[in-house]
Structure 1
Amino acid sequence: MSELAVIQYIDDPAIALDTEWRVLAANDACETLLGSGTVAGEPIESVFGPNRSLADRHADRLSHYPDAGGVVDGDDCHFDPDHAAVAALRDHRDPSEDDPDLGVFTDGTLAYFHCSVVTMDERDRRLLVFRDITQVKDREQDLNFLRQVMGRVLRHNLRNDISVVRTHAELIAEQSDDERAEWARKIVAKSDTLVDTTETTRLIEKAIEHNDPIAQDLETAIEAGTERVRANHPEAATGIRLTDLPTAEILALRQFEQAIADTIRNAVEHAEDATVEVSAELQDEWATITVEDDGPGIPTDELAAFERRGETDMTHASGAGLWLLYTVVHESGGEVAIDTEGGTTVHIRLPVEST
């Protein structure tokens, strides 16, 4: 069997090129990418060339999808020379991982392809493989839409509705002098917890979308996070101790201060008269921050979900707080470990900026 014939066994569109970037062979799957015309022997810039007539007929469709760089219509095809992936191929360059994926309309249906290049042999002949990632793109779009609904609609509406419930509960508490006042105060407290949870989910979303760590002073970030907790829980202020905080610039997301605050807050909210000790140490190019308390420990279901890093029903505000901590530290290039023997000890490992 010819070495070029092997490409027919590749499920995705594949094109073999010689050293001058001329097509040696293309598999049958290329019809979804290049149409039914013959491409063997043609230079790559001709294969991925513009067809102005075809482009004009599909102008509205192409302009609606920024990553769409091609149209296939029977034997004809059009590729936008300004699309980054197309431009790389036409310039005899391997497409970069940073280039956008190539969207191609075939019979009115948009498919997305990710182009990868491998060297076939010692003669530097290349094999282009266009992996069909349409399902992945569709999944990303569904998740983005869901995030918009959850973030911009449900969370906003939820905060407003909770505020209404909280206001009415406060009025009931003020105007009652029996057990209804106590019930109303519990509603107020739970409303505050729900609002905190919606804010935490917003911070998680921002941490994922804007995941560029910045240099920040270790001691300042921890002290600022601690003061947030002390301000909201003055009754627990004396039980929070900061010890052995070295001078260092850590690399972490902007949400780190809130994440450390949530970690401390979880400890003081889950235990009456809890003692929380926050310390840190430096080793090589890493800082390890330890938050230790003598409380009852993180609920088993929340800790199990955190360790699995999977989807679960998070019924406690501390569950969201754990995910904020994990997201911030993970996106900062660090690690989180939790020990629940004799209380809860959270170890946070973050990189230190090189001096």
Structure 2
Amino acid sequence: MSGLLIIAAVTTIVAWLAYRQRPKPGAMWLAAMLVAVAWWTALYALELPIQRMATRRPFMKLQWLASLTIPVLWLLFALEYTGRDRYVTRRSVAALLVVPAVVFGFVATFEHHTLVYQDPQIVEQGGTYVVDHVFGPLFYLGVGYAYLIVLVGSLLFVSLIFDRSPTHRRQSVALLAAVLAPWLGNLVHVLDVPMVALDPTPIAFMVTGVASYVALDELELFEAVPVPDHIARDVVVEGMTDPVVVVDERNRVVDANSAASTVLGYDAAAALGRDAARAIPGYPTAVDGDNETVAVETAQGRRFFDVTVSAVTNSSGSRIGRVVTMRDVTERTHDEQRLDVLNRVLRHNLRNEMNIVAACAEELSGRVDDDDRELVETIRERANDVATLGDTARRIETLLESADESALEPLETMLSRVLERGRNQYPSATFESTWTTEQEVVYCPRTLQPVVWSLLENAAVNGDATVTVFVTPGTDGYVSVTVADDGPAIPEREREVLKSGTETPLDHTSGLGLWLAVWGVRSIGGTIDFEGEAETGNAITLHVPCEAEKPATAESQVAN
């Protein structure tokens, strides 16, 4: 008796610990289940010493109240804890309690009929007073229903044993031990196994208390609540505004989110089983890992989508299907179209018009007197400047389209070209270079050459400037190339604009040359730093990825 009361006390404490975890998923139901366990155990302990049947009946009936509700509370806990709380409603709880309520109605009056017990009598077995009886049909109805409910709740936790999280696996094992141990004991009692005088169910509740404590305290039951796949799908996939379609190896649609109806032309559920090549625009044109932009006629008009196809593999790495994701890029496509038109107008039309203006100014310079010739010369210079902007814009476009980090060339070769070009194009300027690469040949992306040239050109326009290129080895596969000049310092405001990457009507640069350097070095995975002082001029440093090889290896690579 005292042992059963200790079990009841332990279970009550664990129930309090679970109750304190409210409102976390399942905490309330687990606490209620453990209270019912303590109720059953305590009443059984109090019943055992009683020798008169009339006095014992109320204890037997109240124990039935716990035995009929524990399975329901276990199922409600399992549903809510594993993320299926949408099934836990007042209506579902009421439905689950229908059978227990009917059975308990007959249990409450079992002395007047034989539907639960047939001829119950108190007998002595091994010094203990127990009730000897034959079970009636309603007994088996109540027990069978309880076993079914326990089985359903247990299966929800069995699925978590195969979860990828080891914490969830250990939690599931502990909870299954907590509920299955007493029900195995109850099965021994129902089958009337010889040599077992007492009902082992309340005794097995010790396992329930210990296992529940382990799950709560050691395994942080309510701190690491599992998120099942169906919730992840509802939140992530169904919540996406991008259409997502899953295709099997037969190229049949097996799943689709709600947004997919935009491109499919009908409800996503109606797409299941259809041929993917006919149902999904851009499939199978886009292969695994690639993007394909397609135009789709929708209820909102023509929309553009980037179609991405990703392989779905099983645990052995074999492909079992594909996921097709379609990102709406209509606004981006329209922006690109507008930019293409504006770019063509600025680069082509405006340049041609400025060339005409410059030619007219050249012709006009010979027909005006000396007082007006300066104005004509200003017109010609400004027209040439605007035309040069168009040329620089075209160079930027070509540079960014052809940028390739894998196309390498010796840095010394590229710098020799740009320095020689500078000396020929700007004879009044002085060009020098200083190397500190410790006898190694450095290879850099070819995109670096036009970037360095744009910096040299920007410095050399200041007449007799002295331009020096410093090459310094960096760390982690990078090299620093600094272009320094003694011309006017780039204004601090302009340097900040280049660093931020955004111009405004008030904060902007004076041309496109420095933008070419900024965008070009970024296209090959590098960075750029600006320094300027009124007394010393400018120092612009490019940090670019490189590969360094010994001279012999480098010469053989150049030869190849």
How has the CA–CA distance of structure 1 residues 3 and 340 changed in structure 2, closer, same or farther, with 3 Å as cutoff?
Answer: same
Contact 2:364 2:376 in 1 (8 A): yes
Where 1:243 maps in the other structure, the secondary structure is: strand
Alignment correspondent of 2:467: 276
Q: Take 2:509 and 2:421, find their aligned partners in 1: how far apart are those partners?
A: 17
Deviations along 1:203-229, whole A, 9 cap, x unmatched? 111122222242223223223223333
Larger helix proportion of the pair:
2
How has the CA–CA distance of structure 1 residues 25 and 328 changed in structure 2, closer, same or farther, with 3 Å as cutoff?
Answer: closer
2:560 paired with 1:343: no
Shift of 1:329: 1.1
Deviations along 1:62-83, whole A, 9 cap, x unmatched? xxxxxxx53xxxxxxxxx76x3
Shift of 1:162: 1.6
Q: How does 1:1-355 map to 2 (within 5 A)?
A: 1=84, 3-4=229-230, 6=234, 8-14=238-244, 26-34=256-264, 35-36=266-267, 38-39=269-270, 42=273, 46=274, 48-50=276-278, 70=281, 83-85=284-286, 96-101=288-293, 103-107=295-299, 109-111=301-303, 112=305, 114-115=307-308, 128=323, 130-133=325-328, 136-151=329-344, 153-213=345-405, 214-236=407-429, 239-244=430-435, 247-253=441-447, 256-270=448-462, 273-284=464-475, 285-312=477-504, 319-341=511-533, 342-353=536-547, 355=549
Q: 1:48 is matched by which residue type in structure 2?
A: A
Contact 1:23 1:39 in 2 (8 A): no
For CA contacts below 8 A with separation 6 or more, give which structure has more relative contact order.
1
**Worse-matched range after superposition: 241-250 or 333-342:** 241-250
TM-score normalised to structure 1 length: 0.70
TM-score normalised to structure 2 length: 0.47
How has the CA–CA distance of structure 1 residues 252 and 327 changed in structure 2, closer, same or farther, with 3 Å as cutoff?
Answer: farther
How has the CA–CA distance of structure 1 residues 141 and 12 changed in structure 2, closer, same or farther, with 3 Å as cutoff?
Answer: closer
Contact 1:193 1:317 in 2 (8 A): no
How has the CA–CA distance of structure 1 residues 183 and 15 changed in structure 2, closer, same or farther, with 3 Å as cutoff?
Answer: closer
Q: Take 1:41 and 1:187, find their aligned partners in 2: how far apart are those partners?
A: 68
Q: 2:524 is matched by which residue type in structure 1?
A: S
Contact 1:252 1:328 in 2 (8 A): no
Q: Take 1:101 and 1:206, find their aligned partners in 2: how far apart are those partners?
A: 22
Shift of 1:328: 1.6
Q: Take 2:240 and 2:507, find their aligned partners in 1: how far apart are those partners?
A: 47
Aligned residues with identical type, % of pairs: 27
Alignment correspondent of 1:54: none
Unaligned runs of 5+ in 2: 1-83, 85-227, 550-560
Q: Take 2:511 and 2:446, find their aligned partners in 1: how far apart are those partners?
A: 21
Where 2:381 maps in the other structure, the secondary structure is: helix
Where 2:404 maps in the other structure, the secondary structure is: coil
Q: Take 2:428 and 2:419, find their aligned partners in 1: how far apart are those partners?
A: 14
Unaligned runs of 5+ in 1: 52-68, 71-79, 86-94
How has the CA–CA distance of structure 1 residues 223 and 40 changed in structure 2, closer, same or farther, with 3 Å as cutoff?
Answer: closer
Where 1:339 maps in the other structure, the secondary structure is: strand
Where 1:4 maps in the other structure, the secondary structure is: helix
How has the CA–CA distance of structure 1 residues 50 and 163 changed in structure 2, closer, same or farther, with 3 Å as cutoff?
Answer: closer
Contact 1:4 1:16 in 2 (8 A): no
Q: Take 2:262 and 2:521, find their aligned partners in 1: how far apart are those partners?
A: 42
Deviations along 1:70-121, whole A, 9 cap, x unmatched? 3xxxxxxxxx76x334xxxxxxxxx633142565444584442645769899
Q: 2:276 is matched by which residue type in structure 1?
A: F
Q: Take 2:246 and 2:428, find their aligned partners in 1: how far apart are those partners?
A: 71
Q: Take 1:221 and 1:314, find their aligned partners in 2: how far apart are those partners?
A: 37
Where 2:435 maps in the other structure, the secondary structure is: coil
Q: 1:50 is matched by which residue type in structure 2?
A: R
Shift of 1:26: 4.5
Where 2:278 maps in the other structure, the secondary structure is: coil
Contact 1:13 1:33 in 2 (8 A): yes
Where 1:333 maps in the other structure, the secondary structure is: coil
Q: 2:540 is matched by which residue type in structure 1?
A: V
Contact 2:436 2:473 in 1 (8 A): no
Q: Take 1:9 and 1:101, find their aligned partners in 2: how far apart are those partners?
A: 23
Q: Take 2:507 and 2:239, find their aligned partners in 1: how far apart are those partners?
A: 50
Where 1:216 maps in the other structure, the secondary structure is: strand
Q: Take 2:487 and 2:513, find their aligned partners in 1: how far apart are those partners?
A: 17
Where 1:154 maps in the other structure, the secondary structure is: helix
Shift of 1:318: 5.4
Report how many residues are paired. Answer: 308
Shift of 1:249: 2.4
Q: Take 2:257 and 2:499, find their aligned partners in 1: how far apart are those partners?
A: 45
Alignment correspondent of 1:92: none
How has the CA–CA distance of structure 1 residues 174 and 353 changed in structure 2, closer, same or farther, with 3 Å as cutoff?
Answer: farther
Q: Take 1:123 and 1:229, find their aligned partners in 2: how far apart are those partners?
A: 59
**Which structure would you say has the larger Rg?**
2
Q: Take 2:262 and 2:432, find their aligned partners in 1: how far apart are those partners?
A: 64
Contact 1:39 1:47 in 2 (8 A): no
Shift of 1:347: 0.3
